[in-house]
């Protein structure tokens, strides 16, 4: 019961802080919408090229915006050594990690929910009845990225140039997740059968689970001095 209370308390605090400062969401949203708007002007309206490249553009917007958010989220926790304050609480490190991951998924997810309709309108995408699957792909891609991002933002926060270090460490490791997410999204938007999408989804789920458990176990050693 105490564990659940601690989990909820950390998550609630992160959301309340963001609700007041709006610094993470605003930065991510401005970035992702800018990407979508800029790429909209690269292609002819309604062209096949536009629809083909849309999944890549979508994930570029989400991944880079997510990187921006992750970097800021952990940096904020370093101000006034608040992370140290959290670590001094009688809270299990794995619980702390899980709460941070969920918080990051919510922040990136909110940006995706706002950006996606804009993308659909600008790129003239037909989702049809594939909505649930598209949302599932977005969730799985975001969850994997946020999981690895949470641990790497903790590592990079202690380095001198954390804004540079985070993407350098994060992007190579998340390549399987990003590839699987882009492939499944492009197959889905191209109207391919679920059977074609499934291998990429399996890869996405596999890496999500693998990364979550590895990061879950390593977090304690990462945050320790």
Partner 1 sequence: MILTRDLRKSFGQVQALAGLSFAMAEGELAALLGANGAGKSTLLHLLSGLSRPSFGSAEVAGFDVRRQPQEVRRRIGVVSHQTFLYEDLSAEENLHFYGRMYGVAGLQKRSDELLAMMELWPRRTDLVRTFSRGMQQRLALARAMLHQPTVLLLDEPFTGLDLHAIDLLTRFIEEASAGRVTVLMTLHDPDYALAHSRRLFVLHQGRLVIDQPSEQVRKGDILPFFREK
Contacts of 89 (CB under 8 A, 6+ apart): 6
Site for partner 1 (CB under 8 A): which residue of 60, 87, 130, 179?
Answer: 87
Site for partner 1 (CB under 8 A): which residue of 41, 46, 48, 79?
Answer: 79
Nearer to partner 1, 206 or 220 (CB): 220
Residue 92 backbone dihedrals phi, psi, to 5 degrees: -65, 135
Nearer to partner 1, 92 or 173 (CB): 92
Our CA dihedral for 186, 189, 193, 199, rounded to 10 degrees, sits at 30
Q: Using the rule CB under 8 A, is 102 a contact of partner 1?
A: no
Site for partner 1 (CB under 8 A): which residue of 15, 82, 113, 164?
Answer: 82
Q: Which stretch binds partner 1 (CB under 8 A): 8-16, 117-125, 135-143, 176-184?
A: 8-16
In whole angstroms, the minimum distance from the beta carbon of 155 to partner 1 comes to 16
Q: Using the rule CB under 8 A, is 17 a contact of partner 1?
A: yes
Q: Using the rule CB under 8 A, is 75 a contact of partner 1?
A: no
Site for partner 1 (CB under 8 A): which residue of 92, 130, 133, 162?
Answer: 92
Q: Using the rule CB under 8 A, is 94 a contact of partner 1?
A: no
Q: Which stretch binds partner 1 (CB under 8 A): 55-63, 78-86, 107-115, 180-188?
A: 78-86
Q: Which stretch binds partner 1 (CB under 8 A): 7-15, 58-66, 107-115, 175-183?
A: 7-15
Interface of this chain with partner 1, residues 125 to 184, rule: CB under 8 A = none
Site for partner 1 (CB under 8 A): which residue of 34, 49, 85, 192?
Answer: 85
Reduced 3-state DSSP string for the chain:
CHHHHHHHHHHHHHHHHHHHHCHHHHHHHHHHHHHHHHHHCCCCCCCHHHHHHHHHHHHHHHHHHHHHHHHHHHHHHHHHHHHHHHHHCCCCHHHHHHHHHHHHHHHHHHHHHHHHHHHHHHHCCCCHHHHHHHHHHHHHHHHHHHHHHHHHHHHHCCCCCHHHHHHHHHHHHHHHHHHHHHHHHHHHHCCCCHHHHHHHHHHHHHHHHHHHHHHHHHHHHHHCC
Q: Using the rule CB under 8 A, is 20 a contact of partner 1?
A: yes
- Residue 161 CB neighbour total at 10 angstroms: 9
Q: Which residues bind partner 1 (CB under 8 A)?
A: 2, 5-6, 9-10, 13, 16-17, 20-21, 79-82, 84-92, 224-225
């Amino acid at each position: 019961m105490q564990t659940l209370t601690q989990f909820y308390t950390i998550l609630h605090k992160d959301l309340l802080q963001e609700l007041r400062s709006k610094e993470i969401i605003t930065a991510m949203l401005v970035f992702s919408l800018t990407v979508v708007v800029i790429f909209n002007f690269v292609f002819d309206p309604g062209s096949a090229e536009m629809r083909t490249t849309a999944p890549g553009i979508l994930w570029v917007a989400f991944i880079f915006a997510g990187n921006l958010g992750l970097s800021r989220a952990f940096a904020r926790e370093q101000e006034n050594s608040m992370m140290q304050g959290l670590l001094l609480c009688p809270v299990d490190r794995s619980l702390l990690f899980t709460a941070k991951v969920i918080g990051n998924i919510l922040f990136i997810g909110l940006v995706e929910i706002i950006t996606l309709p804009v993308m659909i309108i600008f790129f003239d995408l037909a989702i049809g009845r594939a909505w649930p699957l598209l949302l599932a792909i977005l969730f799985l891609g975001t969850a994997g990225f946020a999981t690895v991002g949470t641990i790497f933002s903790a590592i990079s926060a202690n380095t001198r140039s954390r804004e540079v270090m985070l993407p350098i460490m994060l992007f190579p490791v998340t390549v399987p997740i990003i590839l699987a997410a882009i492939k499944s999204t492009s197959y889905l938007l191209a109207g391919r059968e679920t059977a074609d999408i499934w291998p990429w989804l399996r890869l996405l789920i596999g890496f999500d689970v693998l990364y979550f458990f590895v990061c879950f176990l390593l977090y304690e050693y990462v945050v320790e001095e």
